[in-house]
A = this chain, B = another copy of it.
């Protein structure tokens, strides 16, 4: 099932102040990362060694919340405010970096952490690619 992100962007009735391809890529990466982090937090919670994964769970929860909110803000173009998008993208890239690092530290033991780390890396890159286009 292809994402509706790009078709919805194409049917927005006014102009959009951002590169549509990079914007759609960022929104899709953000939603995917939010989903991976929500699932990884729960998978960690069911590991026998949960006591060693509490920082991972917490960072997953933060990253899921921040990515979901950033996807929403980037999906709105009416009354666009570059300052909000830019500062939020910076916060989101920071959260993805932290969560990717934390998950990567457990990737050899837990496949869900490995997949989640990849989603965080991809999302951080998509955020930075979009940030580079916002003056």
Contacts and interface: CB of A to CB of B under 8 A. Distances in A.
A57 interface: yes
B35 A71 contact: yes
Contact of A98 (B76, B81, B112, B122): B81
Copies assembled: 4
Contacts of A29: 1
Give the interface size bracket for A toward B: 35 or more
Contact of A12 (B46, B50, B65): B46
Interface of chain A: mostly helix, strand, loop or mixed? helix
Contact of A84 (B11, B38, B91): B91
Given A46-B13, A54-B78, A35 B95 contact: no
A65 B68 CA distance: 9
Interface of A: 1, 3-5, 7-9, 11-14, 27-29, 31-32, 35-36, 38-43, 45-48, 50-51, 54-59, 61-62, 64-66, 68-69, 71-73, 75-79, 81, 83-84, 87-88, 90-91, 94-95, 98, 102, 110-112, 115-116, 119, 122
The 10 closest A-B pairs by CB, nearest first: A55-B79, A8-B39, A87-B91, A11-B112, A11-B111, A58-B79, A42-B76, A69-B69, A4-B36, A91-B91
